Homo-oligomer: A and B are copies of this chain.
């Protein structure tokens, strides 16, 4: 494992405030592994062996029931996932698979639970992380229950643009298929939604999306800090 990776992990809110010793202990038990695209990392229903952290690449959290499937969230570096299952030492409620090739840091659950009991800074950080994730999923739920797919897309465009500096031009990092599941809709519907947004100040060609009339888009999206963060 590269020194720069370790430093990156150390700088995460989750690990920043623990003692050097405990951090070293965790890291020496940890594995950094590369996975190709579309690899299943964990399966819902299994017991957690490791806390996972996306160091590079993109991971999709999804869930199945009968023959249906839904994307719950899409995770980019540097973020933990399935922390709640590790903490509770209970089965995963969601599956995870890579979208891109990805590097995943895996820390044995036991080590996490052990250090958690002995390092107050780490315990605090875990609480923050859990609270953050909890609130994240509440936002997802609200987005999906309260908005139509056009509205979700409109808000996603605004949020994405904002996080890229507000230049009014976005280049998709992935397939539209991926985006559509991130937004909780089918690819066909994403196409249609994007077409509809043509009337609301958005132009799209290929993987590029341009905001030509931000006012109009905002009128359509009606973004809210209580959903979009």
Contact = CB atoms under 8 A, between A and B. Distances in A.
Interface in A110-143: 116-117, 120, 123-124, 126-128, 130-135, 137-142
A184 interface: yes
B131 A65 contact: no
Interface stretch (A32-40, A87-95, A163-171): A87-95
A137 B137 contact: yes
A66 B222 contact: yes
Interface stretch (A14-22, A144-152, A193-201): A144-152
Copies of the polypeptide in the assembly = 2
Contact of A88 (B64, B120, B123, B132): B132
A186 interface: no
A87 B226 contact: no
Size class of the contact patch on chain A: 35 or more
A54 B44 CA distance: 31
B226 A142 contact: no
A189 to B, nearest CB: 15
Interface in A51-109: 63-66, 68-70, 72, 83-85, 87-88, 90-91, 93-94
B87 A146 contact: no
Contacts of A90: 135
A226 B64 CA distance: 10
Contact of A146 (B63, B127, B141): B63
Contacts of A133: 134
Interface of A: 44-45, 63-66, 68-70, 72, 83-85, 87-88, 90-91, 93-94, 116-117, 120, 123-124, 126-128, 130-135, 137-142, 144-147, 184, 222, 224-227
10 contacts: A65-B142, A68-B146, A84-B130, A84-B131, A88-B135, A91-B225, A116-B127, A120-B120, A137-B137, A144-B145
Given A134-B134, A140-B141, 7 more contacts: A45-B226, A65-B226, A68-B146, A72-B141, A85-B135, A87-B131, A141-B141
